[in-house]
Amino acid sequence: MKLSNKLWIHWGKNPNDVFQYLKISKAGAKLDESKKFIQWFRFVKDYRDKKGAHWFVDYEIYHSLLKVAPEAKIATILQSLKDIKDLKNLAEIVQNYQFKLWVGRK
């Protein structure tokens, strides 16, 4: 776990706090190229590992992403995150959540 993530967790920060602190919403269309976004996604992973997945559920991750990108873009971002070894599992979990949403709409 990165030192910044340890400190944020120790200080009681949650993924929404870090999302705002890193100004992820300013990444917009270039979200998949944003190092800050990857840092945030790693924080979410570390936060859930430390606190439990029920503290920031799949729904919250996905809807945080919807604030800055359309669903199609999120799908490609999640697919690319699966290529990053330490983020693969969380990316797959959120991607499965997205697929279930899409199937549920039909």
The ranges assigned to domains in the chain are 3-104
Q: Using CA atoms, how far apart are residues 106 and 102, in angstroms rounded to an integer?
A: 7
Q: Using CA atoms, how far apart are residues 45 and 56, in angstroms rounded to an integer?
A: 9
In this structure, the dihedral spanned by the alpha carbons of residues 66, 71, 77 and 81, taken in order and rounded to 10 degrees, is 80
pLDDT digits (tens, 9 = 90+) for 58-81: 999 999 999 999 999 999 999 999
Task: Specify the DSSP class assigned to residue 25.
Answer: G
The pTM of the full predicted model, rounded to 2 decimals, is 0.91
Place of tokens 């705002």: 20
pLDDT value for 1:
78
pLDDT digits (tens, 9 = 90+) for 23-32: 998 876 577 7
CB of 99 closer than 8 Å to CB of 92:
no
